[in-house]
Amino acid sequence: MIKFVTTEINGLTLRGTAHVPDGEPGQQFPTVLMFHGFGAVRDEGFRLFIQMSNRLMENGIAAVRFDFGCHGESDGEFEDFTFSQELNEGSALIDAVKSMSFVDSTKFSLLGESLGSVAASIVAGKRSTELTSLCMWSPAASFLDEILNDHTLQGKTVDNVEKDGYFDFYGLKLGKAFFDDLKNINIFDNAKKYQGPVKIVYGTNDFIPEKYSHKYMDGYENGELVIVQDGDHGWQSVPSRKRILDETMKFFRKTLLEAK
């Protein structure tokens, strides 16, 4: 069953989709909460999260994916978005989803894509005892270095933000608050507070340097890094997409269904 779900966080209504396996009335299922990428939506590019959600549902695992605030169908304007907001929402979504009637809150994992992977890693560090496992696709942990050190975002200068008051992100205004907020973000020290099972899947054609995935691995004692030849950031080829879906399904089958 696929159904529309909503929750309110800090005055914003977040809108999402839940994929729930068939079962008995009142049955609860292991669940994966998905965090989409920066400027993206809960479907992810070319149905990526939809495909993963369907795979999970077919294997007896529920999948829930929300548009973060200021993204997609959720409330808020992109101009007002900050990464700290995403982290706060990510943590609150754990509570909201765990309270849903079909969710087994004792078997609950996170999956992120791109910047959503970074958010998932930090939220996992903050909620380390409440999660079963964490999977990250194409973690975009380079964004702090790009913005704070290189003064660029996806290859474009951010030096005009102070004067203009916003950054032109594919036709959307990204406000100055986003950039001011980044001095408060520490990715890897927070991420390593989670020491449960972790799987990172990275493609060799990703524009995010591979070294950031290895930096994550340096902090994880129970981590696995899978390098996919010719995989790009959004997994936009049939072979690479099949590989990431298969690798992720294998991980969640092991951590959510087979683990005692």
Instruction: Could you list the residues known to form a binding site for Ca(2+), using ranges.
Output: 8, 13, 22, 75
Distances (CA, A) of 183 to 67, 113, 148, 186: 25, 22, 8, 8
User: What's the chain's length in residues?
Assistant: 260
Contact indicator for 219, 229 with CB cutoff of 8 Å: no
Instruction: Could you list the residues known to form a binding site, using ranges.
Output: 8, 13, 22, 75
C-alpha 131/C-alpha 124 separation (Å) is 7
Task: Kindly state the tokens that stand for 211.
Answer: 């070294």
Exposed, middle or buried by CB within 10 Å (0-12, 13-18, 19+), for 225? middle
Contact indicator for 34, 116 with CB cutoff of 8 Å: yes
